[in-house]
Amino acid sequence: MPVKKIQVGQLWKKNDSGESFLVTKVYAEALATFALLRKAGAEGEPPIRVKVTKVAAASDLPGFTYAQESDEF
């Protein structure tokens, strides 16, 4: 589900496993934007780097669903 802007602190759910991930960093590299996601409650695990896709005037993380609009945490 695309959102207007991906920001640090947003919660996203991984589509295949249903696990929750927290956006810890958003940065630009060359011509692309990336988000670093860390599994919620597992601070010791390495973060996941996901390329942000642009859909019209919104941004999306492929393979993830924005979780804060729903009450499913």
Can you give the pTM of this predicted structure? 0.82
Give the model confidence (pLDDT) of 1-37 as tens digits: 678 889 999 999 999 988 999 999 999 998 899 999 9
Strands 64-66 and 11-14: antiparallel
Domain boundaries, the chain: 11-66
3-class DSSP assignment, residue 67? coil
